Structures are given as C-alpha cells and as structure tokens.
A and B are shown apart, each in its own frame.
Chain A
Amino acid sequence: MSETLLSTKDLNVHYGAIHAIKGIDIEVHKGEIVTILGCNGAGKSTTLRTISGLIRPSSGSITYKDQNIEKTPPHDIVAMGLAQSPEGRLVFPDLTVMENLEMGAFLRKDKPEIKRDLEFVYGLFPKMKDRSKQLAGTLSGGEQQMLAIGRALMSAPDLLLLDEPSLGIAPILVQAIFKAIVEVNKTQGKTILLVEQNAFAALKIADRGYVLETGMVTITGTGHDLLSNEEVKNAYLGH
C-alpha cells in the first residue's frame, strides 16, 4: 500500500450540545480517490470542514503529511497543500472568473507555474476560459462548481477535498465534472477526497469509500466492493 497522506484518528466534533462526528477514523493514501458517502446530516461536510481547519474537533487527531493539523489555522493548511472546494461552491460573486482563480493562488508567488496551472484549469473546463472576464455571480450552478474546483486547484494542492460537486447541477455537467475529477487524479497525480450524495457516480471513480451514518463510519471498502454491497445498494443506490 502506498504512503498515507491524510488520516483522522478517533475524530470527534461537537456543535454545542450536538455530537456531530463520533470517533471517525479515515485514511487517504497518496494518489487515491476516496469517497465519503452518506445522507444529509450524516456529518460529511463537517468532516471536510474539520480537516480544513474551519471547525475545531473536540477530540482526536488529524494527520496530514505526518504533521498534526487539528490545531492549524485554515490558511496554513492551504499552504501545506490541502485545498477544498466547499459545499455550496462559495465562488466570489463580485469577482470575475479569472480573479476567482487568482484568489485560489493567493499564497503562491511562482508566476510561471501559476500561469501553467491556469492553463490546465482552462483546459479542464474550457467554459472557464470563455467566461474568464465574466463575474462569477452570473455563472450557472454547474459552471460555478467548475470554477470552485478550478479555484481549489490553483493553490497547487497535493490533496483536494471536494464537497458535493454534483449538488444541484444538470446531469450532463455532473458527468463533465466527474470526468474532470478523474483527469486531475490521473494526469496531475492529485489525491482526492470526495464527499457525495450521488453514490453511484462517486463509487464508479473511487478507489475506496466510507459510508457515514449519523456521525459514524458504518461501512468501508473499495469502490467496487461498495457498489455491490447489499446495504449500500439498498440505502444509497436506490435498488
């Protein structure tokens, strides 16, 4: 097995009195696509937000590149090469597409490499190139999702967290986005942790998956195994 890039150990998160994450252990290895499945409120987004440092865990540890990051501020986590495309996309509506992508590279000073990454994003999502001067607030939901992923890529991450990239998007664009995710993984060698409700699409591209229910990991396995797992089929694949 290849080296571990990210791991959580007995991770617990509370929102006031609510115990949202109850002792989660997750591992992501270098080069993998790992998916976290689950219903609304299972704690998927909370897990990603905690990894990125936006929420502090009440106990447990998060290790990234052999360093504990559970107390590291979010901007320093980005600097370590861990980016996230957040739930709801959150592109900056009053900035242009191009400016949004530049914001993704906020911490970088390597101009030639930034330009190369910009070209990669434009190649990945040609629509972004066509609309580079347009305000992000005027894009469709699917285009905003592409922008959010592109923006996260602009920080040159080693690990990319994607929170529900298919949420509220036309099916045709969902396909394009999942294709892009695979391309980022295969050609750029970026490791991906993908949170999804669209279990079928996610499991088809994932090396491994975790199923989250009310803040706990209940099932885990390879993408292939989970696709044929009876419980997963009944609960998440609609068979």
Chain B
Amino acid sequence: MNEEMMFMLYDTAQFLINGLVQGSIYALVALGYTMVYGIIKLINFAHGEFYMIGAFIGYFTITYFHFPLILALPVAMLLSGFAAVIVEKLVYKPIRHAGRVAALITALGVSLFFQYAGQNILGADPKAFPQAMPELTFEFGEVYITTTQIMIMVSTFVLMVLLWWLVGHTKIGKAMRATSFNKDAAALMGINTDRIISFTFFVGAMLAGAAGVLVGMYYNTVEPMMGLIPGLKAFVAAVLGGIGSIPGAVIGGLVLGVVENLVVGFWESTYRDAVSFSILIFILLVKPAGLLGKNIREKV
C-alpha cells in the first residue's frame, strides 16, 4: 500500500470517529424529539433548549460548586428534565387540544423564550466550560481519540441501554408505549396519561441535558444560543431515522454525525449544514417515514 492510500485510510478512520462522537450527541437529543412526537405528535422545537440548559447546569455546578463530572452529569440531567416538565405543564398541556399547528408555533415560542431569556440572564458571550476530567489522547498510527470522545460514546451507550430497558421492560415504559399507541385505550387501563406525557418530556429532556454537558466538555464552551443548530440537527436525525422510532433516532443521529464529518473532512466544512438539511428535504421527499419508521396513514 502506498503512503497516499495509508493517509487516506487514517483520515477516513479519524472522520468516522469524530462522526460517531458528534452523532452520539445528535442521537441523545433526537431521542427526546422522537419520544415526545411518539406520545403527543408534537415536534417540540424547544427541545434543543434543554440541551442548552443541561450544558449551563454542568457549567455552573462544575465551575462554582466544583462538582465532579460523575455528579454534575446526573444533576444536569435531572434539572433539565424538571425544566421540561414545567414547560409541558405550563405551556403545552393547556393547548393540547388546540391542534398541532398551534402547538408547533408554541414550541417555537418556547425555544425563543429560552434563547433570549438565557442571553438576558447569562449574557450572550460564550463561557469557557471547565476541564472536568483529565484530557488524554490515544494514538493509533495517525488516528487520534481523546478521553472526552471515549467518555461521550460510553455515556451515550449507557444512557441508551437504560432507555431501552426503561421503555421495553418496565411498567412505566409499557404505559408509555400504550399511551403513545392510543391515549384513550391507555386511560381505560387506568393509566394516568397526563403523568405519562410529563414523564416522557422528563426523560427526553434528561437525555438532551446529558448531551449538553458532554458537548460542553467536548467544545469547552457554552452559550445561550448553543441549542439552536444541534436542536435542528437532532430533528433532522429523528426524521431520518423515522420520527417516533427510538432505534431510528439513534441510527439517524449516528448516520448524520458521520455524514457531516465526512463532508467536513473530504469536502468543505461550510457545506456541512447545507448537506444536513438537504438530507432532511431528501428524506421528506423520498421516504417521509424515515429509515425505520412505519408508514402509517393518517386517520380521517
């Protein structure tokens, strides 16, 4: 093998690793999108804000309270989850019967509210995320992987296994699936569907909050508008995988992360977002149900 091909291979491996790391973040955020959509058919465009909230809680608890990462991460997850439950109760629940367009516009409003309230309270300038764990770099030939990258992939994997167990093997998980199939049928089982809906928001925002902390560590910076683009990307990932499908969100996130990094590596970084949103348009045109989504006709 000549030298040029060797470097090509190293490059590809490096882009794949970076892509899987980025994709893990997208997948964590996409899971919340897809779960909330699955249960109340709402595209929660404010979902990216819980990622921002999680990142800031990570920033504050580590910088000011000197929390170790192992503590900061669950605290950020819980508080992001509670923030989502409050939003659901105060904003989404009262308009649940007002129609899907009203809910969608409300979600955009909630998103803007958090972005600008964040800028007002915390300041618009990016803040340096503290070094929460020692950063080591492992070398494999010309391919590099950092401890932060490993941490992101491992945390994502652990959270996904927990989610799989929660949804598939617990009573509340079955209640979530029942509610997502049909709210009336679930209520007739004695399931308090309002509580299940809140719980779904809670779990989704916990995952987004975790992604926020992980991304803060990865890019060493947090700012109030940071949820906007990753939020939209996660939406693309959820649609790509098939919105409403949990494995779909994971696959969609990973695929999107890898594709973006291949675009950045082999083409131009400026085309990254254009390619992502082109994927959204392409999927909606060609296979709106996504990779793993079921083709369900709307009931008339």
Query: A residues within 8 Å of B by Cβ?
Result: 49, 52-54, 73-75, 78-79, 83-84, 86, 90-95, 99, 102-104, 106-107, 151-152, 155
Contacts and interface: CB of A to CB of B under 8 A. Distances in A.
A103 B189 contact: yes
Contacts of B119: none
B187 interface: yes
Contacts of A95: 174, 177-178
Contact of B188 (A52, A93, A94, A99): A52
A73 B192 contact: yes
A106 B190 contact: yes
A155 B192 CA distance: 15
A78 B190 contact: yes
B190 A155 contact: yes
B269 interface: no
Given A95-B174, A106-B171, A54 B189 contact: no
Interface residues of B, number: 16
A78 B189 contact: yes
Contacts of B182: 90, 92
Contacts of A104: 189
Contact of B184 (A83, A86, A106, A151): A86
Interface in B158-180: 171, 174-175, 177-178
Contact of B185 (A53, A90, A94, A102): A90
A84 B177 CA distance: 19
Contact of B175 (A49, A52, A106): A106
Contacts of B191: 75, 103, 106
A90 B184 contact: yes
B181 interface: yes
A102 B178 CA distance: 12
Interface of B: 171, 174-175, 177-178, 181-182, 184-185, 187-193
Contacts of B188: 52, 54, 74, 78, 83-84, 86, 90, 152
17 contacts: A49-B184, A52-B187, A74-B184, A75-B187, A75-B190, A75-B192, A78-B187, A78-B188, A78-B190, A86-B184, A90-B181, A92-B182, A93-B181, A94-B177, A95-B174, A95-B178, A106-B175
A74 B194 CA distance: 11
Contacts of A91: 185
A54 B193 CA distance: 11
Contacts of A74: 184, 187-188
Contacts of B185: 86, 90-92
Contacts of A155: 189-190
A141 B193 CA distance: 26
Nearest to A152: B188
Given A99-B174, A103-B174, A106-B171, A92 B190 contact: no
Interface centre among A75, A84, A102, by most B CB within 10 Å? A75
A54 B187 contact: yes
Contacts of B174: 95, 99, 102-103
A106 B173 CA distance: 12
